[in-house]
Chain A
Amino acid sequence: MQINKIKKEMTEILSDVFDGSTIMVGGFGEAGSPIELLHGLIDKGTKDLTIIANNSGNGRVGLGALIGQRQVKKVICSFARSAKGVTFPELYNKGEIELEVVPQGTLAERIRAAGSGIPGFYTATGVGTPLAEGKEEKIFNGKKFILEEALKADFAFVKAETADRYGNLTYNKTARNFNPIMCMAADKSLVQVKKILEPSEMNPEHVITPGIFVQSVINIENPIIETNAIEEGMTYP
């Protein structure tokens, strides 16, 4: 029997996601954002989610839509203030969603650390700022650092360009961003890809995420383009 991580149905790839899950959502703005997987979660109605992402969604599409459906109780991100953000500000201003602000590089490193078995690390980022409050300080070579802990998740929702049945992934340009490290830090990585390749067609030199970090893949050939969707006034559901 052959290994095959490719799922045919959205309900199948999302079947394990439970109420109260912590989910890492890849993407930087719309580049690399797994919109269809997020819409699948809206259809499924999973609640009380903690979302780890760089941003907090635009318009009422993808992450913006999931937040708008009140399925998210907390967002951990670096930048929750975007020009096209609608749903997060609405709930945040009413005190109906929690926010943990993390510097972008610390966010990336906490995710990378979790995926690499490193429980915490010291960094200069944030020293002397409000984001250092309550964190352990340590001096190395006369310079002050703060302790940051690894950030794990139950699931990673990721968008990639191509995959094979082993879960090997390639990305497209800056749509790579958080996606590879999120695949490493989550118990289960669920990936939507534009194209499925035969393993023999996948160049091992070009694989960015080796299949060991990926549990399930679904083929979404023509994903929604967020900018266009928002311009057209699309809302989901």
Chain B
Amino acid sequence: MTNIFTNDLIKGWDRNTIASKIANDLPHSSYVNLGIGMPELVSQYIKEDREIIYHSENGLLGMGPSPNENEIDLDLINAGKKPVTILPGGSFCHHADSFSMIRGGHIDYCVLGAMEISVTGDLANWSTGKGIPAVGGAMDLVAGAKNVFVMTQHLTKEGKPKLVRECTLPLTGAGVVSRIYSDYAVLDITNDGFKVIQLNEDITIEYLRTVTDGNIYQ
């Protein structure tokens, strides 16, 4: 049974630190799809020793940063429908081609948020089971990208573990997650459970066990 210390405030890595850890693990010349929200931060931490090409599923390969106010073009947006830019070497394509890049296994890495991740790599991140169901491209990304990285807080806002034996929310994909970057640790999904790759300096493995539901080993 999981022991939850909701009032025990352990300050994990901040989102910028998590983003920089992910950025360090993306190899030179990889094609990457960053999910909307927190994963977008990753692009700010890519070191100069490498070049990464960003894909946006609405038909843009070679996506650049946000434009200046006077350069906004509402025909040039990302998957979150926010104005972006295209870099030299970039290209546009239609939706079926863009999703062939994903579904055909051409995208090397995608980075997504999560509500729950199971010890076998199941991911739930599209539906709380309430409200209007809306999936977007999440199911395609987790099924098709070669590596699925999850960037998340270790606990929910209510202090419950997001890393669980079995997801309770509707799945986005089954057995799809490769690696989890949380504020407490970096963990790989393996046949034996969650394998700790890196533990936050302020956290012990014993504590991590109490806030994770599922086998953890180092």
Contact = CB atoms under 8 A, between A and B. Distances in A.
B173 A80 contact: no
B8 interface: no
B95 A173 contact: no
Q: Which 8 A-B pairs have the closest CB atoms?
A: A128-B174, A105-B140, A105-B99, A81-B134, A29-B81, A112-B96, A108-B95, A103-B139
A78 B95 CA distance: 13
Interface string A108-129: 1101100000000001111111
A89 B75 CA distance: 25
Interface stretch (A8-16, A34-42, A63-71, A178-186): A178-186
Contacts of A54: 95
B131 interface: yes
Given A101-B135, A108-B96, A176-B94, 6 more contacts: A29-B81, A78-B135, A103-B139, A109-B99, A125-B143, A176-B92
A181 B75 contact: no
Given A31-B77, A127-B173, A173-B76, A80 B96 contact: no
Interface in A74-115: 78-82, 88-89, 92, 99, 101-106, 108-109, 111-112
In this complex, the interface size class of chain B, counting residues with CB under 8 Å from chain A, is 35 or more
A222 to B, nearest CB: 14
Nearest to A208: B94
A50 B97 CA distance: 25
A78 B137 contact: yes
Given A81-B134, A104-B57, A178-B95, A28 B171 contact: no
In this complex, the interface size class of chain A, counting residues with CB under 8 Å from chain B, is 35 or more
A227 interface: yes
Nearest to B63: A174
Interface of A: 28-32, 54, 78-82, 88-89, 92, 99, 101-106, 108-109, 111-112, 123-131, 171-181, 208, 225-227
A129 B172 contact: yes
21 contacts: A28-B81, A28-B95, A31-B58, A81-B132, A88-B132, A92-B132, A99-B132, A101-B135, A102-B135, A103-B136, A103-B139, A104-B99, A105-B57, A105-B102, A105-B103, A111-B96, A129-B139, A131-B139, A171-B92, A178-B95, A181-B96
